[in-house]
Structure 1
Amino acid sequence: MIVCEFSVVPLGAGESLSEQVAKCLKIVQESGLPYQLTPMGTILEGEWDEVFKVIKRCRDELRKGFKRVLITIRLDDRQAPPGRLQAKVRSVEEKLDRM
Structure 2
Amino acid sequence: MSVLLEFAMFPTDKGESVSPYVSKVIKLIRESGVSYQLTPMGTIIETDTVADALAIIQQSYDVLEPDCDRVYSSLKFDIRKGKSGCLKQKIASVENIIGKVNT
TM-score tier by shorter-chain length is over 0.9
Residue aligning to 2:90:
88
**Once the two structures are aligned, what percentage of the paired residues are identical?**
37
Q: Once the two structures are superposed, what CA deviation does each residue of 1:34-56 show, in whole Å capped at 9, x if it has no partner?
A: 00000011100012111111111
**Cα distance in 2 between the residues matched to 1:22 and 1:11:** 15
Give SS of 1:90's match. Answer: helix
Q: Once the two structures are superposed, what CA deviation does each residue of 1:47-98 show, in whole Å capped at 9, x if it has no partner?
A: 211111111111111111111111100000111322100000110111113x
- Give me the CA root mean square deviation: 1.0
In the TM superposition, structure 1's runs of 4+ consecutive aligned residues that sit over 4 Å from their partners are none
Letter paired with 1:75: F
Kindly indicate which of the two structures has a greater share of residues assigned to helix. 1
Give SS of 2:77's match. Answer: strand
Q: TM-score of the superposition, structure 2-length normalised? A: 0.89
Residue aligning to 1:79:
81
Q: TM-score of the superposition, structure 1-length normalised? A: 0.92
Unaligned runs of 5+ in 1: none
